[in-house]
Amino acid sequence: MGTYVPNTEKEQREMLEACGFQSFDDMYARAGIPGEMRLKGDLAIPSAGTEMEVRRTLEKAARKNRVYASVFRGAGAYRHYIPSIVGEVCGKEEFRTAYTPYQAEISQGLLQSIFEYQTEICELTGMAASNAGVYDGATAVAEGCEMCRDKKRRKVLVSGAVDPKIVSVVRTYAFGRGAEVAVVPEKDGATDPDALRGMLDGETACLVIQQPNFFGCEEDAGALAETVHASGAKLIMSCNPIALAVMRTPGECGADIAVGEGQPLGMPLGFGGPYLGFMAAEEKMVRRLPGRIVGETTDINGQRCYVLTMQAREQHIRREKAGSNICSNEALCALTAAVYLAAMGPEGLRKTALSCWANAHYLREKLSEAGLEKVHSRPFFHEFVMRAPGEKQARDILRALDGADILGGLLLGDGRMLWCATEMNDRDSMDRAADIVKEVLKP
């Protein structure tokens, strides 16, 4: 960031004078901001330090983070290998300092990167068009629900096998719109089709499912799509992008909208992000996609160029009438996903997915031999639920694993634990985790 220099105090004074203000206080007062809302005195922040002093401070803060040697937890955020080229390309200063384009046509490089990302998401999901991305996977699901609602159809159905965090965000969106959200019960770890048929009616706008779902199980998405479409509603599939390399795409399953969390595509685990929500839709739904869509065209000389297309003005200036209030995108995260997908290629992505699948199935068998009970009988990808004899034993297992520098599964209550394995887990680490579980459960 060496080429970025903030304005000096002299330049700030010159700008204030050019605008007709004597000081910042004068500007705030004339803007009508009450005095009690303005800061008095200095901020309670440390004074400036040398580069070495700042580095020591940051290193001390970083040591508070816990980085486990082995991770067997997913639940929406996954530890995958990231090729070195991803960070090398995305770390270039011209990408790091670029914001989402407003004077779009002078940002041809950024627009091209978004266009490439959109193309790869369409190939991954089997859908007709993608937008430039939204804030995260849960936001993408909620925005997808907004795409499906109209004056007659206001009710959203969400599978009980969807991540509870996603359901929470959908409910928040619906509350602001005065819409109804109902949860379809799950049965043996997947959406109950009989319960779904009983809940569909003329007011249902869409059904949201997750593939693989929160419990790691594979949904019968094709059959659910047929049931939903027969009632006149639409199907939204929230997908794991790595799993799409080996599973049927949303397009093949008959989904109307495909969404998901893009974090597995080259983004490391972070304490809350930044993440990326991807969105794609079939052709008849394209005009309802929120945010930005980059299109390819030709300039006056017939040369290839890129432009922002089909962006509703209401998103900016008539927000109360807009179908969506998102008017930005996670451009750097989208670029990261695009570089990751290009670096891996179809075969690399497929090998990663198969490695995740194989490791998860191996781990499940080892944990079963160690004394945990298999909860679901359905096919699964790289997550699965196991049950300890009781909640106390489940917590004892996690405590013992933590002591061995291993992050175990996520507690779901009633002794159940959601485990995950990716290509980053080798057999030695999985055997070691199983041995610890066996030792804890030993009579």
Task: Please give the Cα distance from 234 to 228 (Å, whole number).
Answer: 6
User: C-alpha 372: how far from its chain's center?
Assistant: 30
Higher pLDDT, 108 or 236: 236
Q: Which amino acid is at 179?
A: A
Residue 423 has pLDDT above 80, yes or no: yes
Task: Please give the Cα distance from 85 to 118 (Å, whole number).
Answer: 20
Q: Which phi and psi angles does 113 have, rounded to 5°?
A: -65, -40
Task: Please give the Cα distance from 203 to 206 (Å, whole number).
Answer: 9
Strands 155-159 and 204-211: parallel
* Residues 372, 243 share a domain: no
Task: Please give the Cα distance from 60 to 64 (Å, whole number).
Answer: 7
* Residues 424, 286 share a domain: no
**pLDDT score for 1:** 45
Residues above pLDDT 90, as percent of the chain: 77
pLDDT tens-digit profile of 357-400? 999 999 999 999 999 999 999 999 999 999 999 999 999 999 99
Q: Up-side HSE of residue 272: CA atoms within 13 Å toward CB? A: 0
**pLDDT score for 443:** 85
* Residues 436, 301 share a domain: no
**pLDDT score for 322:** 72
Q: Is 24 part of a structural domain of the chain? A: no
**pLDDT score for 291:** 86
End of a domain among 340, 369, 399?
340
* Residues 404, 281 share a domain: no
Q: Is 117 part of a structural domain of the chain? A: yes
Q: Is 428 part of a structural domain of the chain? A: yes
User: C-alpha 184: how far from its chain's center?
Assistant: 23
Residues above pLDDT 70, as percent of the chain: 95
Residue 104 has pLDDT above 70, yes or no: no
* Residues 220, 118 share a domain: yes
The confidence band for 89, taking pLDDT boundaries of 50, 70 and 90, is very high
* Residues 313, 207 share a domain: yes
* Residues 271, 166 share a domain: yes
**pLDDT score for 110:** 87
Counting every residue written for the chain, the total comes to: 443
* Residues 329, 255 share a domain: yes
Mean pLDDT computed over every residue of the chain: 92
* Residues 319, 419 share a domain: no
Q: Is 289 part of a structural domain of the chain? A: yes
Strands 155-159 and 180-184: parallel
Q: Coil, strand or helix: which one is 440? A: helix
Could you tell me which of 318, 319, 261, 259 has the C-alpha nearest to residue 289?
259
Angle at 412 between CA 411 and CA 414, to 5 degrees: 100
Task: Please give the Cα distance from 284 to 275 (Å, whole number).
Answer: 28
Q: Is 39 part of a structural domain of the chain? A: no
pLDDT tens-digit profile of 59-86? 999 898 889 999 999 999 999 999 999 9
**pLDDT score for 42:** 81
Could you tell me which of 228, 148, 243, 244 has the C-alpha nearest to residue 184?
228
**pLDDT score for 330:** 87
**pLDDT score for 81:** 97
Q: Is 185 part of a structural domain of the chain? A: yes
Beta bridge partners of 411: 417
End of a domain among 306, 340, 374?
340
For tokens 């580095």, what's the residue? 55
Residue 436 has pLDDT above 50, yes or no: yes
CATH code for the domain of 256: 3.40.640.10
Higher pLDDT, 37 or 358: 358
Lowest mean pLDDT among 16-20, 150-154, 335-339, 386-390: 150-154
Task: Please give the Cα distance from 107 to 262 (Å, whole number).
Answer: 24
* Residues 175, 272 share a domain: yes
Q: Which amino acid is at 108?
A: Q
3-state secondary structure 294-363: EEEEECCCCCEEEEEECCCCHHHHCHHHCCCCCCCCCHHHHHHHHHHHHHHHHHHHHHHHHHHHHHHHHH
**pLDDT score for 328:** 75
* Owning domain of residue 395: 70-79+345-441
End of a domain among 340, 361, 385?
340
DSSP label of 265: T
pLDDT tens-digit profile of 281-333? 999 999 899 988 999 999 899 999 998 887 655 555 666 667 787 877 888 99
Q: Coil, strand or helix: which one is 191? A: strand
User: C-alpha 5: how far from its chain's center?
Assistant: 33
**pLDDT score for 36:** 86
CATH code for the domain of 398: 3.90.1150.10
Q: Is 43 part of a structural domain of the chain? A: no
* Residues 231, 362 share a domain: no
Domain count, the chain: 2
* Residues 427, 297 share a domain: no
Q: Is 75 part of a structural domain of the chain? A: yes
pLDDT tens-digit profile of 265-295? 999 998 778 899 999 999 999 989 998 899 9
